[in-house]
Amino acid sequence: MQGKQSESRASPQVKSIFSPARGFFWAARTRILLWYLLTIGFIFVVSIPAFRQVLYERVNQRVNRELTEKMEIFTQLIDAETEASDREDEEVTAAVNLLKQADIRLTKPPATEDELEEFFDAFLGRQLSEDDTFLIAIVDGKFRKSSPRARPKVLAADSELIQYWGKLTQPEQGEKEFPTEPNIDSVLYTAKPVWIDGEIVGVFVVAHTTAGERAEVVEAVLAIVQVSAVVLILALLIAWVASRGVLAPLRLILQTTRKISESDLNQRIFVEGKGELAELATTFNEMMDRLQAAFTSQQEFINDAGHELRTPIAIVRGHLELMGDNPEEIRETLALVLDELDRMSRFVNDMILLAKAERPDFLRWETVELQSFTEELFAKAQALAQRNWQFDTTAQGQTIADRQRLTQAVMNLIQNAIQHTKENDTIGVGSAISKSRISFWVRDTGEGIALVDQKRIFERFARAANSRRRSEGAGLGLSIVQAIVEAHGGRVLLKSDIGAGARFTIVIPLMRSPQKKSHAERVG
């Protein structure tokens, strides 16, 4: 009772989640787009800072390259020992000409502090620096001049950075961070001390504030983010529309499944195109074919098994209820009851055998001598009934098989032949080897089997419609034959015409190795 209550409480929730096809596909499309959004978002979150950092590094490299070029010009000028006409560098030549116009001699480096100040004044007075680039001259540890004159606070004459540069004794290139200063960010610089008579008289510095370039980088990154956001929204809309077509086969599968659960097992999905979803639809249809066949077989089995068991039970019950006190009547009733119980026992044993045929240990392999085996089968057959028995031929050699199961299969064919023949009819038994196959056959001259029945007599509980007599079994004999033969990796062939008898042939592979026994064992 408790289980039923819990089931009833759970069912509304289950229906609300899984029943509506529209809700299911809405959720599926939403999850797809959500994962798509998370993936693209993660890429943006990782790539945007990386992109900004790359731009920062490229700006720093370009600025450092420009600073180095400026310092090289200064170095060549301050260390000049030849006339400008001997120089190949155009920028150096132009700088030298400007200094000539200021009456500064370049035949040798500045020899005094006054000459160095004159050199700095003339050099910086005629230099046009780029934006945010500052050429700074420091003489005797104090600020002398800069180009341009307007400088940020961190480059003021009394700033800590100027004092730091004034104390340098070796060339230096680096970067100083100023996170608290507005519109500065950091300063990239290269500095070179100037020596006169073994003493440092001054320092020349080329500095560059990075706030402008980095502001441009941030602006470019923001533009990229804005464009990417628009593209992402458009991509999501397109993906939302496209996902409907992509998920269409799944929608058909769900709709078909709902129809099957409500009506029958005949519904199938129309497969169109190729790809994984089309293959899924094809696989679903194949699965439904197997389920329908299994369901039909199960229903037929239940009906036939119930019929086969109901009849002997009714016979036993009826005779026991009518049984009197007469000893003779009691003996007859007991004999009849035991016969019906034996028939039910055979039926149950046959069903157990068919169930075992699916197990990997169904067969027990051994070496079988074909000639003696065939002769043994024929001897057993002769003892079953009065017929015109004929021993056709026998195979010579050996094979690896389950001797008992093969005997059971051939004897079932012989029993079937006996049931459909008369005393003066002929039944032949034989075996032969052809290439890599061995054949056992049972033929008769009985009533024969119609073509329409040949396709179904190997099914469980099946009997020929044109048979003149009622089979003693439950219609499982040929099913058992087929199960045994297929377990050996073979097949059963039938050739028959109405009034011309029938020929059943068992064909199995010859000399099968123990490692390659049967399909059932390979699966196991």
Does residue 373 or residue 157 have the better pLDDT?
373
Q: Which of 269, 265, 271 is nearest to 289 (CA)?
A: 265
Evaluate if residue 522 carries a pLDDT over 60: no
Instruction: Over range 46-72, report the average pLDDT.
Output: 86
- Would you state the pLDDT for residue 462? 59
Of the listed ranges 7-21, 188-202, 370-384, the least confidently predicted one is 7-21
Indicate the CATH number of 51-216 among 3.40.50.300, 3.30.70.270, 3.30.450.20, 3.30.1490.20. Answer: 3.30.450.20
- Would you state the pLDDT for residue 82? 37
Per-residue model confidence as pLDDT tens digits over 84-116: 434 445 555 555 555 554 444 444 567 778 888
- Would you state the pLDDT for residue 452? 80
- Would you state the pLDDT for residue 502? 93
Evaluate if residue 305 carries a pLDDT over 80: no
Using 50, 70 and 90 to split pLDDT, how confident is the model at 64? confident
Angle between helix 477-487 and helix 403-419 axes, rounded to 10 deg:
150
Q: What percent of the chain has pLDDT over 90?
A: 17
Instruction: Over range 262-274, report the average pLDDT.
Output: 70
Evaluate if residue 11 carries a pLDDT over 50: no
Q: Which residue has the tokens 């519904």?
A: 267
Q: Report the run of H or E that residue 504 belongs to, with start and end.
A: strand 502-509
- Would you state the pLDDT for residue 393? 93
Rounded CA separation 298/351 (Å): 13
- Would you state the pLDDT for residue 356? 74
**SS3 readout for 125-191:** HCCCCCCCEEEEEEECCEEEEEECCCCCHHHCCCCHHHHHHHCCCCCEEEEEEECCCCCCEEEEEEE
Q: What percent of the chain has pLDDT over 70?
A: 80
- Would you state the pLDDT for residue 374? 94
- Would you state the pLDDT for residue 473? 52
Rounded CA separation 76/71 (Å): 9
Contact 59, 219 (CB under 8 A): no
Q: Which of 520, 481, 523 is nearest to 362 (CA)?
A: 520
Using 50, 70 and 90 to split pLDDT, how confident is the model at 204? very high
* Identity of the residue numbered 22: R
Per-residue model confidence as pLDDT tens digits over 163-182: 899 888 899 998 888 877 77
Instruction: Over range 63-92, report the average pLDDT.
Output: 67
Question: Per DSSP, what are the bridge partners of residue 115?
Answer: none
Per-residue model confidence as pLDDT tens digits over 22-32: 555 567 777 77
Evaluate if residue 228 carries a pLDDT over 90: no
- Would you state the pLDDT for residue 76? 77
Contact 246, 277 (CB under 8 A): yes
Rounded CA separation 322/425 (Å): 41
Question: Per DSSP, what are the bridge partners of residue 444?
Answer: 427, 502
* Identity of the residue numbered 21: A
- Would you state the pLDDT for residue 492? 93
Domain boundaries, the chain: 51-216, 276-356, 366-523
Does residue 150 or residue 139 have the better pLDDT?
139
- Would you state the pLDDT for residue 25? 55
Q: Report the run of H or E that residue 399 belongs to, with start and end.
A: strand 398-401
Of the listed ranges 90-99, 217-226, 308-317, 403-412, the least confidently predicted one is 90-99
- Would you state the pLDDT for residue 159? 87
Rg (CA), the chain: 51
Residue 109 has φ and ψ, to the nearest 5°, of: -65, 160
- Would you state the pLDDT for residue 521? 41
- Would you state the pLDDT for residue 430? 96
- Would you state the pLDDT for residue 304? 66
Q: Which of 440, 412, 405 is nearest to 520 (CA)?
A: 405
Rounded CA separation 449/471 (Å): 14
Contact 424, 388 (CB under 8 A): yes
- Would you state the pLDDT for residue 15? 40
Q: How many helices (H) and strands (E) does the chain have?
A: 14, 12
- Would you state the pLDDT for residue 106? 44
Using 50, 70 and 90 to split pLDDT, how confident is the model at 4? very low
Q: Does domain 276-356 have CATH number 1.10.287.130?
A: yes
- Would you state the pLDDT for residue 93? 58
Q: Which of 441, 432, 429, 427 is nearest to 370 (CA)?
A: 432
Rounded CA separation 152/145 (Å): 14
Mean pLDDT, the chain, integer: 78
Using 50, 70 and 90 to split pLDDT, how confident is the model at 12? very low
Contact 224, 160 (CB under 8 A): no
Question: Per DSSP, what are the bridge partners of residue 187?
Answer: 176, 209
CA trace torsion 177, 178, 179, 181 (10° rounding): -160
**Greatest mean pLDDT range, 84-88, 190-194, 284-288, 454-458:** 190-194
Of the listed ranges 56-60, 260-264, 354-358, 499-503, the least confidently predicted one is 260-264
Of the listed ranges 79-83, 317-321, 378-382, the least confidently predicted one is 79-83
Q: Does domain 366-523 have CATH number 3.30.565.10?
A: yes
- Would you state the pLDDT for residue 8? 39
Would you call 340 helix, strand, or coil by DSSP? helix
Rounded CA separation 295/283 (Å): 18
Q: Is the dihedral of CA 293, 296, 302, 308 positive or negative?
A: negative
- Would you state the pLDDT for residue 475? 66
Instruction: Over range 266-281, report the average pLDDT.
Output: 74
- Would you state the pLDDT for residue 32? 78
- Would you state the pLDDT for residue 129? 74
Instruction: Over range 286-313, report the average pLDDT.
Output: 75
Per-residue model confidence as pLDDT tens digits over 451-486: 888 777 777 665 555 554 444 555 677 888 888 999
Rounded CA separation 191/130 (Å): 17
Strands of the sheet containing 437-444, edge to edge, are 388-391, 426-434, 437-444, 502-509, 491-496
Does residue 189 or residue 91 have the better pLDDT?
189
Beta strand residue intervals within 67-109, DSSP E: none
Would you give the DSSP letter of residue 466?
T
